[in-house]
Amino acid sequence: MITNTVAVLPEVTSDQRAEILAAPRTTQAHRSLMASLPAMNALQLGGEAKAAQLPAQITVAAWNVERCLFPEETAAHLAPIAPDIVLLSEVDCGMARTAQRHTTEEVARALGMTYAFGVEFHELDLGGPTERAFCTDDFNTTGWHGNAVLSSVPFERTALIRLDDHGHWFTPESGAADPEQPRVGGRMAIAAVVPTERGPICVVSTHLESNSAAEHRQVQFELLLREIDAFAPDIPILIGGDLNTGNHLPPDFDWRRETLFALAEDQGYSWEFTAEGDTTRPSLITPHPDRKMKLDWLAGRGFTPVDKGVLSSISATGTPLSDHDCVWTKADISALSDA
């Protein structure tokens, strides 16, 4: 668990980039590289909160925004559900495919929220073929790609929880490493404690592994739950994100074969915060009309679900903002008495 925070994430130097490119593709080398990169060991905090504390009933949205090609439109699309907390995954910062923008910062500014951004991967190239069509340059200024938590109130505490330090996308043994998309990093989560009128709560944005089987995701989720308990004991918790459930089970992509659901329930979590229905669709980057999956979830402990839904990622002008729809819930803080 990493609790260090910075105003600006340090960029990878030319010497560090050369070291990454020359490093053997082994777990030991990956762990050494991860330890040597400051941006992999801190959260960036920014933006401005618009309230001092949340009410007892809050709205939380979780959305994999697929690089966030359209930050302003993404924020506008969320506005009608008026989220108090937004849990984002696959957000770019300093990538040519998203015009070198800090997409989290721009979404937070448009919504009037503060944010915590953490790096999942440092990408050394421009991405896949469909992504390259959006590139405004032939280089990335920082190459950061990760997760974020946006909040309408200030953070009391934050933590970066790494779910993969062995280099699943770096070492050839995993089968996930892509020579066309070299990268350092791995799946992770961001946990944040925020104040409410009934006391503190913890919200978590996470992204589990896509290129693996259910057993691998179970290990990641078990680690996540253990770290959350250590970070935020005895307070209500809401976890949201792209859990990639069933993503490695074609052709039916049956999420019911995942074991992480029972794991969470055994520890007091409920999945009743997630509406029914698939959460993926064809997009500008991922034009796969036949790949329909339910990957995105919200789980809570110490909350009572009041309402829930799936917000289509198709914008008002007909543009798919992502290959994932947004899942949201309205939840009541049931585990704390009124102050």
Query: What's CA 128's distance to the chain center, in Å?
Result: 20
| pLDDT band at 338; cut points 50, 70, 90 | very low
Cis omega before residue 251 (within 30°)? yes
What is the token pair recorded at 108?
A: 């937070």
| pLDDT band at 250; cut points 50, 70, 90 | confident
| pLDDT band at 81; cut points 50, 70, 90 | very high
For the chain, what is the mean pLDDT?
Answer: 94
What is the token pair recorded at 141?
A: 């200024």
- 258 has a pLDDT exceeding 60: yes
The stretch 111-140 carries a mean pLDDT of 94
Burial class, 25, CB count within 10 angstroms (exposed 0-12 / middle 13-18 / buried 19+): middle
Domains observed in the chain: 5-333 (3.60.10.10)
Contact 37, 122 (CB under 8 A): yes
- 86 has a pLDDT exceeding 60: yes
CB burial readout 140-164, b (16+ within 10 A) else e? bebbbbbbbbbbbbbbeebbbbbbb
pLDDT (0 to 100) of residue 278: 96
| pLDDT band at 290; cut points 50, 70, 90 | confident
| Tens of pLDDT, residues 192-242 | 999 999 999 999 999 999 999 999 999 999 999 999 999 999 999 999 999
> For 115, what's the count of Cα atoms within 13 Å in the CB-facing half-sphere?
27
Name which of 1, 5, 80 is nearest 47 in CA terms: 5
- 179 has a pLDDT exceeding 70: no
